[in-house]
Amino acid sequence: MRAALIGAGQIARQHLSCLKALPAVQIAGVCDLSPAVAESIAERYGATAWFTDHTTMLREVKPDVVHVTTPPTSHFRLAMDALQAGAHVLVEKPATATLAELEELVRYAGGQQLALTEDYNYVFNHATREIVRWVETGLLGAVVHVEVMMALDLFGPGGFADPNARHPALTLAGGALADFLPHLASLAHQFTGAHRRAHAIWTKRRPSILPYDELHAVVEGARATATLGFSATAQPDAFWLRVYGERAQASTNLFETRLTFERLRDGPKPLQPLLNGLEEARAVRRAAVGTLMRKFKPGPGTYDGMWHLISGTYAALAQRTPLPVPVEHVLEVNRMVEALKPEGAAS
């Protein structure tokens, strides 16, 4: 299959690293407004051609799949152009700046029988997949509640709060935090299903150009409830996912490889905390070493979920089987995102 990519920034390199490793995929074209970025990224990842104008690339390359990895406010126009050129589209999160734009893309893609999917890479991380396996095999029991909490320092130089060059994500409703909201919502959706009700509190703790630096929300989903959180001030950086089942509880830090389970066991009840504690200590020790070793190994590293998602998407497109992230899920996640946006900002 012929792949093309629009927007050759940081996340694009992760897409291209994965595409380069897929034997049945040719990186047919890359596009960026900066000629040097486009040319260098093409040279680095062995792309057949590079462009600074995406319409020229779509016309000349005729890709089967287009990855849209530009700043989010440009996604709608670029994704629509790619669909109109007859390509399937994998768009980075947030898929579009507004829900209305996404619904328009979905309608068009459906009419043309083209695939449209969004990158929810943390849903496909090894730890998340392991928890899903525990759910599917009944080890966790029915999911009761999910906690998703990201702590990430956004105040470093060159980051979202850099006053010298405004980050493109600041134009989104909710500002920089809206850039991370699809991660939180897609993980919650994985375990709760479509939301019924949602309530979010957006606050600001530190003076900066960010409109908000804290988000905490409660969601009632079709199958379970969830709490979602983002803190730009809580440290150290971490991305906690905790799933409460009727038979066990799973906890993982998605920035590391830590994954622990606490479960109901046969035998004397007073021993259960001890046995769970010993098991958790073993898992944490293993994860501490694993997180370090991951830095020394070739391959996707912390982006293993993205590699799983991209390779799965290409396999599904080739075999005409359901996508890892079907468009219905994209819509449900984005409806949850819409419901969580700060008051007065919903589209």
Out of 296, 319, 320, 343, the only residue in the binding site for other proteins (CB under 8 A) is 296
Beta strands in 85-210, from DSSP E residues, in sequence order? 88-91, 116-118, 143-151, 195-203
Stretch in the footprint of other proteins (CB under 8 A) among 6-14, 88-96, 248-256, 266-274: 6-14
Out of 23, 111, 163, 267, the only residue in the binding site for other proteins (CB under 8 A) is 163
Instruction: Examine residue 20 and tell whether it contacts other proteins (CB under 8 A).
Output: no
Instruction: Kindly report the backbone phi and psi dihedral angles of residue 261, in degrees, each rounded to the nearest multiple of 5, phi listed first.
Output: -125, 140
User: Minimum CB separation from other proteins for residue 295, in Å?
Assistant: 6
Out of 23, 136, 137, 164, the only residue in the binding site for other proteins (CB under 8 A) is 164
Tally DSSP H helices, then E strands, for the chain.
10, 13
Instruction: Examine residue 138 and tell whether it contacts other proteins (CB under 8 A).
Output: no
Do the Cβ atoms of 253 and 164 come closer than 8 Å? Answer: no
Total residues in contact with other proteins, by rule CB under 8 A? 21
User: Minimum CB separation from other proteins for residue 282, in Å?
Assistant: 26
Residue type, 227: T
Whole-angstrom Cα distance, residue 100 to residue 331? 10
Do the Cβ atoms of 146 and 191 come closer than 8 Å? Answer: yes
3-state secondary structure string across 108-150: HHHHCCCCEEECCHHHHCHHHHHHHHHHHCCCCCCEEEEEEEE
Out of 295, 320, 343, 344, the only residue in the binding site for other proteins (CB under 8 A) is 295
Stretch in the footprint of other proteins (CB under 8 A) among 77-85, 112-120, 185-193, 293-301: 293-301
User: Minimum CB separation from other proteins for residue 6, in Å?
Assistant: 16
137 versus 165: smaller Cβ distance to other proteins: 165
Whole-angstrom Cα distance, residue 256 to residue 284? 10
Distances (CA, A) of 269 to 262, 264, 265: 13, 9, 8
43 versus 220: smaller Cβ distance to other proteins: 43
User: Minimum CB separation from other proteins for residue 88, in Å?
Assistant: 26
DSSP conformation class of 342:
P
- 190-219 residues near other proteins, rule: CB under 8 A: none
Out of 1, 2, 22, 40, the only residue in the binding site for other proteins (CB under 8 A) is 40
222 versus 292: smaller Cβ distance to other proteins: 292
User: Minimum CB separation from other proteins for residue 321, in Å?
Assistant: 33
Q: Which residue has the tokens 């990519």?
A: 5
Do the Cβ atoms of 90 and 313 come closer than 8 Å? Answer: yes
**Structure tokens of 44?**
């680095």
User: Minimum CB separation from other proteins for residue 7, in Å?
Assistant: 12
In this structure, the strands spanning 50-51 and 238-245 are unpaired
User: Minimum CB separation from other proteins for residue 36, in Å?
Assistant: 5
Judged by the rule CB under 8 A, the positions of this chain that interact with other proteins are 9-10, 13, 34-37, 40, 43-44, 157-158, 163-166, 295-298, 301
